[in-house]
Chains A and B, each alone.
Chain A
Amino acid sequence: MDFLNILSGALGEIISPTTAAYALAALGLALHFGYTGLLNFGQAGFMAMGAYGFAIATLTFNAPFWAAVLVALACSVAFAFLLGIPTLRLRADYLSIVTIAAAEVIRYIVTTNQLTDITGSAGGLNGFAGGFYALNPFPEGTYNLGFITLSARDLWVRVVAWSVVAVCCFIVWLLVRSPWGRVLKGIREDENAVRSLGKNVYSYKMQALIIGGVFGSLAGILFTLPRSSVQPANYGTELTFFLWTCLLLGGAATVLGPVVGAMLFWVVLSLTQGLLYGAIGAGYITFISIPQAGQLRYIMVGVALMLLMIFRPQGLLGNKKELVYS
């Protein structure tokens, strides 16, 4: 077993674009759930809107990079309206049911064979990231960051992904310290009380749903760029639950919690994979096979989440005091 290799692989996960995408989508969930109390179980749907919006705009309509990004964002705003208009006047649990269903509807629509020309059906879409890599300012070559060596292309996608995450975190931080954010937190606690104080609760919930959804769709784009492909199978309900895991690991009502949670999630997955595969390869573990070990990793993440909820229910960065009263 090559421990150094396993460790550097795990460290590499911290700055991988996939981690950034998870962090950004979980940040959207933090705004939804942690600050506004909206139970969105369809964040994978928002990510799919972003990924497919971007890919289809590029491939079918030959849109330039920035236009494709705008199309993706517009798709997620439309999706948020579609989900929010019928459900945000109702109790919180209605939104959760509608979002989880809508995310699945999106996934089945893009998998439909009749739409193969546009969505690529189950095979997905490929080769739409050219516009993004054409913007790469880093000269060709390899870049050594100490624990990991990157190509110019890898470096570019990481720099962009984490810059987007940083900007979005900053925006969320500005928003939640503002009076606007205070109204959101009030809605989380008791929406009728906020209504009695003259705030249009429905409009605030819609704004929060849209902003979190836009973060989700940006995350969807970041998720597809390094692969330059979208696959419908990636946007199933388990993606949403991984995002919730990241959110709860880090702390729901925090700005940096989702980022820390996403990093931790991927480091743990990578470490356990490295260690298990290494141990199986070297013959230390004989009672499970490599594919079984892949499943075992997720079991371990689940156990970790349970332990966290029992011993540190507020998440890594959450405020313990807020939990005393819930």
Chain B
Amino acid sequence: MANPTPDESGTAGVRTDAVDYMTDTRPIASEPAAPGCRKRDPILVAKNVTRAFGGINAVDVEYLEVPRHKITALIGPNGAGKTTFFNLLTGFDQPNSGEWTFDGTSLHGVPSYKVSRMGMVRTFQLTKVMGKLKVIENMRLGATRQEGEKLSKALFKNIWGGREREITRHADGLLEKFKLDTKREDYAASLSGGQRKLLEMARALMADPKLVMLDEPMAGVNPALTQSLLDHVRNLKSEGMTVLFVEHDMHMVRNIADWVVVMAEGRIVAEGPPAEVMKDQAVIDAYLGAHHDVDLGAAEGIEVLEHQLAQDKESVVGTADEGILGHGITEQDGRDPDEGRDRKDAP
């Protein structure tokens, strides 16, 4: 005990109280980064979680630990099962098999509202705000420990009025932080898409969660607002919260994530620090496609691609099976294949 080892997770919560989470550089994993590797201090552990829709295995996660006090990004192409996995973890969907624990408590079969009460609050990919409630009421709805939400006490304002004032103060503070304070009395339905994302995130924070799970927080948000959303996510970490978020833009992830988990076809194909994961050839192939750096918008792009495909053993281009591929592509759009090159050569 006097000389704690890095992988001693039991006492970590107490010991790390004095740590500045933003500058904490201790290793996240306690073993080499690989799919399913152990973490120094996991907050969420999932084991053999599977979910099939018909014959398709939407989620098949063998083992995953989410590190505490870190920002973990869950990335992967469309249909990789990220959101389904989110729904399973938060009790919005039931898995076919599997066990998962949050802070040491098993969450199997626990209904979603109890998961949220334990301190694991989520947002949604398609933003869910209560349109016909005012922004401030949306915020108040996120609060916990309000006795007035019980029918037996709802009639008596003297019971819940005090807590209501505390909640309102907390909500006003968060609204100011998220620059929504001018919208306080507006109906949530009048907010723009980006403002709704902010409101949903702020509302999730009303419960003082330990783990914030954001499902595509940046989807459909303009670049300026994206930057402010990223800052907010970073702030969550500095306040001691753990963040797990889904995203499919790898470049967005590189900036803020401490740890990246890559899913493809329901499985975890790679995990590690962002810089390393992005270099991983398996990730690049599975997630971006092997020829992701070819710009098909440029005039010579298709020829470059053709050239690359001809070298690729898995491709039919350049073989007898080529068919309408290959030269067919450039000829079909009616242009002379040399036209682009001519223009480029001109001064």
Contact between A325 and B131, CB atoms less than 8 A apart:
yes
Q: Is A186 an interface residue (CB 8 A)?
A: yes
Closest B residue by C-beta to A201: B113
Task: Give the CA-CA distance A210 to B224 in the complex, in Å.
Answer: 48
Contact between B154 and A189, CB atoms less than 8 A apart:
no
Contact between A179 and B187, CB atoms less than 8 A apart:
no
A165 smallest CB distance to B (angstroms)? 18
Contact between A179 and B133, CB atoms less than 8 A apart:
no
Task: Give the CA-CA distance A183 to B146 in the complex, in Å.
Answer: 11
Residues of A with C-beta under 8 A to B2: none
Number of interface residues of B (CB under 8 A): 40
Contact between A179 and B149, CB atoms less than 8 A apart:
yes
Residues of B with C-beta under 8 A to A182: 133, 137, 140-141, 149
Partner of B124, one of A179, A185, A188, A193: A193
Stretch in contact with the other chain, from B114-122, B225-233, B292-300: B114-122
Task: Give the CA-CA distance A193 to B123 in the complex, in Å.
Answer: 8
Contact between A186 and B141, CB atoms less than 8 A apart:
yes
Residues of B with C-beta under 8 A to A194: 130, 141
Q: Is B132 an interface residue (CB 8 A)?
A: yes
B334 smallest CB distance to A (angstroms)? 48
* Interface band, chain A: 20 to 34
Q: Which secondary structure characterizes the binding site on chain A?
A: helix
Task: Give the CA-CA distance A193 to B126 in the complex, in Å.
Answer: 11
Residues facing B in A187-203 (CB within 8 A) are: 188-190, 192-201
Closest A residue by C-beta to B138: A186
Contact between A181 and B90, CB atoms less than 8 A apart:
no
Contact between A178 and B160, CB atoms less than 8 A apart:
yes
Contact between B113 and A200, CB atoms less than 8 A apart:
yes
Q: Is B97 an interface residue (CB 8 A)?
A: no
Q: Is B129 an interface residue (CB 8 A)?
A: yes
Task: Give the CA-CA distance A201 to B132 in the complex, in Å.
Answer: 18
Q: Is B255 an interface residue (CB 8 A)?
A: no
Residues facing A in B105-155 (CB within 8 A) are: 111-114, 116-117, 121-124, 128-133, 137, 140-142, 144, 146, 148-151, 154-155
Residues of A with C-beta under 8 A to B189: 324-325
Partner of B132, one of A193, A207, A326: A326
Interface string of A199-218 (1 = CB under 8 A from B): 11100000100000000000
Contact between A174 and B151, CB atoms less than 8 A apart:
no
Partner of B203, one of A174, A195, A197, A326: A197
Given contacts A192-B92, A195-B116, 12 further A-B contacts (CB under 8 A): A174-B154, A178-B148, A178-B154, A180-B148, A182-B140, A185-B133, A186-B141, A190-B130, A196-B112, A196-B116, A197-B113, A197-B142
The list of the 9 closest CB pairs from A to B, nearest first, reads A325-B189, A180-B154, A189-B130, A179-B148, A193-B128, A198-B116, A178-B154, A198-B117, A179-B149
